[in-house]
Structure 1
Amino acid sequence: MAASAIDKQPSGVITLLTSDGGELLVDKELLCSSSKFFAGMLTACDATRLQILIVADKYDMSLVKERCEKWLVSRCLRGRMRSHTFKFQDVSEGFEWLAICQKFDLKDLGWYCAYDLGTQLAQGAWPRPLHDCLEGVTCPDMLKTILEAVQAAVNSGGPLGPSGSGAGPGGEPAGPGHGLE
């Protein structure tokens, strides 16, 4: 039903909400095929990226969701290359992003969020008891990744304070789908 709503709009135009509450009319094909245009939109704030995910989910635009997720994952990877202590987010923001990943089925981005949260758990950075923090984690793979990150940090034998990387002897797992079994 949502896909037919797009077809009824003139020439496949959709409306995106901007972070300041304004509206931006965008051609569906342009949004899906023009990476320069899409990349320009993604340099905006996190609220704009979330709005893009909401619109993409509503109109079943899997390519748009995939591009948004890839950009956010690349942000994680660039940060990790610059510093082994890079964190994609702080703990409270991390759980917000993890909820977004679960809602929109963003498995790759969810892996990075979950791994960072697990590393921060091993460092004692979680402000609330473990069971309270994990209450909203409904995806078994993301929960498993959190536990794998804790296990890697514990097995590293190195310092787990703010200066420790939390990665295992061979570094952290390569990424989604490459965790401990």
Structure 2
Amino acid sequence: MKKLILAALATALLPASALAQDAGALGGAYVGGQIGWGKRSVDIDYNLPGLADFDESRSGIDYGVFAGYDAGIGSNFLVGVEAGLGFGGKTLRGAPAAGITTSVNPSWNYDISARAGVLASPNLLVYGRLGYGAERVRTTVASTVQGVSSVSEKGWSDGLLWGAGLEYGINESASIRTEYRHRDMDGGYAADQVLAGLAFRF
């Protein structure tokens, strides 16, 4: 699988003086958890006669934890960096030929991203996200055909992550958020999520 190498953390290079502004209830370091809907999909075209394409998707519950840091630029803008660890996803199965089945079973995932947004009010942030995400998966080819062996191996599928969301500062110590994000990974593998989260700031 091809890797997409992303340099999405350019905001980390901003001068410290530009970041030393008041960000209201949404600035500073934070940790939190999130849960919501997730869909995994595979779209592989084998381009070989007699083999059916692997085009499947399944939805389920996704959940995880995250940590990051936000800083204000002026009075209306916020930039930050965030890392997350997540779980979820159901096994995707296909049958490219008689007697042969293929499956992709997600295990866990991680991501690192930059986000930037506008404070629509002192406590409400409208933001976009861009970064890198990777998911640990087990890929299996099971065969009942004589002379064709079954194989199974674990590996990583990774690539671009992007999304957008809203975050509301309840007070200086906690905030809630809702977000859509998409991970476009290699090998024809992708994930879509709609997540709700609670963050604690310090």
TM-score if structure 2 supplies the norm length?
0.23
Query: What TM-score do you get using the length of structure 1 for normalisation?
Result: 0.25
More strand by share: 2
Higher RCO (C-alpha under 8 Å, 6+ residues apart) = 2
Structure with the larger helix share: 1
Higher CA-based Rg = 2
